[in-house]
Structure 1
Amino acid sequence: MQISETKAIVTGGASGLGAAVARALCAEEAAVTILDRDTDQGMALASEIGAGFQPVDVTEESSVEQAIGEAAAQMGGITACINCAGVVIAERTLGRNGPHALETFRRTVEVNLIGSFNVLRLAAEEMARNAPDGDGCRGVIVNTASVAAFDGQKGQAAYAASKGGIAAMTLPLARDLASQNIRVMAIAPGVFRTPMLESLGQEVMDGLAADVTAPQRLGEPQEFAALVLHILGNCYLNGEVIRLDGALRMR
């Protein structure tokens, strides 16, 4: 897939990892539509980088159908779907105030896992209409997992379950969509410098960075975006979860 010919939707594209992906794609002259709940921030970024914007709630089928339909109409199709929308909570299974709230567990899984699947299944329907490119590919889906899928910390039961689901469905999705020549990959990032992480303060960020093997620092969103672009361009990458974490192993 030639990046300059890519027609991409990026969920969670208004900030953090998603924004970095949208910026990187636009810098390579790809057509991009940002999908996000934050209309103000999403529209501002879209205007800045020359992308489109569609408001969306990834958990709502009708919302995603409308956003993908509008994006496909504006870009003349969809060839890439990058799912970065997500939420994170910290809550122990049994804490001082009692058991883990069922609603927060449900919401985390609904946004991170079900939301990603909701978007990718409808994006795949659009991709299946594409003519194959030079490699015979009609589209590429990149989901965002997390190292928490493999070594989640205490208080991360909900988050790890949602990201573990992303990792676990990668190969079955690739197999399901092989007949349509649509590739499916996932990235499992470690600790990255995003607005959500920065809100925790410098002391917390320094502590997280200290656990990274090398380079001993937080990941930069641009490094995540660079891997996304490599996945899009490397037609032999399929059905795999790639850790992007500086050899971090959480404990």
Structure 2
Amino acid sequence: MSDHSIKGKTVLITGGAKNLGALIARELAEYGAAGIAIHHHGDATKAAADKLVAELTGKGLKAVALQGDLSSAAANAKLFADTIAAIGKPDIAINTVGKVLKKPILDTTEEEFDSMFAINTKAAYFFIKEAGRNLNDRGKIVTVVTSLLGAYTPFYSTYAGSKSPVEHFTRAASKEFGDRGISVNAIGPGPMDTPFFYGQEAPEAVAYHKSAAALSAFSKTGLTDIEDIVSYIRFMVSDGWWMTGQTILVNGGYTTK
């Protein structure tokens, strides 16, 4: 078995109860993961997390649901400690947590700014820190960012702005953790066909986004399908280990750097 096979590995996924995170969990289970910790934020996602854990344990995996607001260093440290206690030291750590805000700069409040950077920047930083501290050697770290990092557009200043530091965190961590064989990457999907996207967009904006990618006509929805992102993440945490320190935009030609 390859050192970078998913088979027998232990996985932590934040935001893992629904949508992209849940599909990643199911995909890695199919490829042989032995244990998966599903993080979810609060009571609203508890039932979905518990249902997914029951599904995974029914397939013979170790699985656990862990709840928490990750916008503090202590919460990230606790998440990894609880993961280790429940299913063992992780080999793979994937952070899908994010918050989107579409709003003009002139209308953005200080509270909104602080919330965006707490979730998209601070949580990502301390997740990477704790992953570097707690992962087994030759582990894999992936953070989900956004293809808006390659866009020239109004209204997403706090969203793209709070995700962009993750590129720098990723590069630094890849250098600092590389002597243990740990790869660190970020992936930036285009607008995805999930409630995360639709809650911020007016119908005319949805119509634009569904036609903006070069390959839109070949997508099920015109948007980025989460299944396509999952296949890239699976590669990044297995045979794609040699790629490290990178932010990859996967969006069907929606934006490029």
Relative to the length of structure 1, the TM-score reads 0.88
Determine which of 220, 242, 249 is the counterpart of 1:243: 249
Following TM superposition, by how much is the alpha carbon of 1:55 offset from its aligned partner in structure 2, in angstroms? 0.6
CA-atom RMSD in angstroms: 1.9
Quick check: 1:141–1:182 contact (8 Å CA) kept in 2? yes
Deviation string 1:74-124 (CA, Å, 9 cap, x unpaired) is 2221111101011101111114xxxx2111111111101110111221122
Following TM superposition, by how much is the alpha carbon of 1:198 offset from its aligned partner in structure 2, in angstroms? 4.2
Distance 2:128 2:234 in 1: 18
Determine which of 33, 40, 65 is the counterpart of 2:37: 33
2:209 paired with 1:208: yes
Instruction: Report what 1:111 is aligned to.
Output: 119
Over the matched positions of the two proteins, sequence identity in percent amounts to 21
Distance 1:92 1:32 in 2: 39
Following TM superposition, by how much is the alpha carbon of 1:48 offset from its aligned partner in structure 2, in angstroms? 2.3
Quick check: 1:149–1:167 contact (8 Å CA) kept in 2? no
Following TM superposition, by how much is the alpha carbon of 1:149 offset from its aligned partner in structure 2, in angstroms? 1.6
Following TM superposition, by how much is the alpha carbon of 1:202 offset from its aligned partner in structure 2, in angstroms? 6.8
Alpha-carbon distance change, 90 to 247 in structure 1, aligned in 2, over 3 angstroms: same
Letter in 2 for 1:36: H
2:243 paired with 1:232: no
* Paired residue secondary structure (1:8): strand
Distance 1:60 1:239 in 2: 24
Instruction: Report what 1:223 is aligned to.
Output: 228
Quick check: 1:10–1:83 contact (8 Å CA) kept in 2? yes
Quick check: 1:64–1:118 contact (8 Å CA) kept in 2? yes
Letter in 1 for 2:114: R
Structure 2 unpaired stretches of 5+: 58-62
Matched residue pairs, number? 238
Deviation string 1:34-91 (CA, Å, 9 cap, x unpaired) is 1111322222222223332111211133332222112112222111110101110111
* Paired residue secondary structure (1:143): strand
Letter in 2 for 1:181: G
Deviation string 1:149-176 (CA, Å, 9 cap, x unpaired) is 2215211110011111112322111011
Quick check: 1:150–1:164 contact (8 Å CA) kept in 2? no
Distance 1:40 1:201 in 2: 29
Alpha-carbon distance change, 89 to 198 in structure 1, aligned in 2, over 3 angstroms: closer
Distance 2:195 2:22 in 1: 11
Distance 1:198 1:49 in 2: 29
Quick check: 1:12–1:85 contact (8 Å CA) kept in 2? yes
Distance 2:223 2:36 in 1: 27
Map 1:59-78; keep pairs closer than 5 Å.
59-78=71-90
Instruction: Report what 2:60 is aligned to.
Output: none
Following TM superposition, by how much is the alpha carbon of 1:210 offset from its aligned partner in structure 2, in angstroms? 0.6
Quick check: 1:148–1:164 contact (8 Å CA) kept in 2? no
Letter in 2 for 1:11: T
Moved over 4 A (4+): 198-204
Structure 1 unpaired stretches of 5+: none
Instruction: Report what 2:151 is aligned to.
Output: 151
* Paired residue secondary structure (1:243): strand
2:51 paired with 1:44: yes
Alpha-carbon distance change, 170 to 61 in structure 1, aligned in 2, over 3 angstroms: closer
Instruction: Report what 1:183 is aligned to.
Output: 183
* Paired residue secondary structure (1:120): helix
2:28 paired with 1:20: no
2:93 paired with 1:92: no
Alpha-carbon distance change, 152 to 143 in structure 1, aligned in 2, over 3 angstroms: farther
* Paired residue secondary structure (1:64): helix
- 226-235 vs 163-172, greater mean Cα deviation: 163-172
* Paired residue secondary structure (1:235): helix
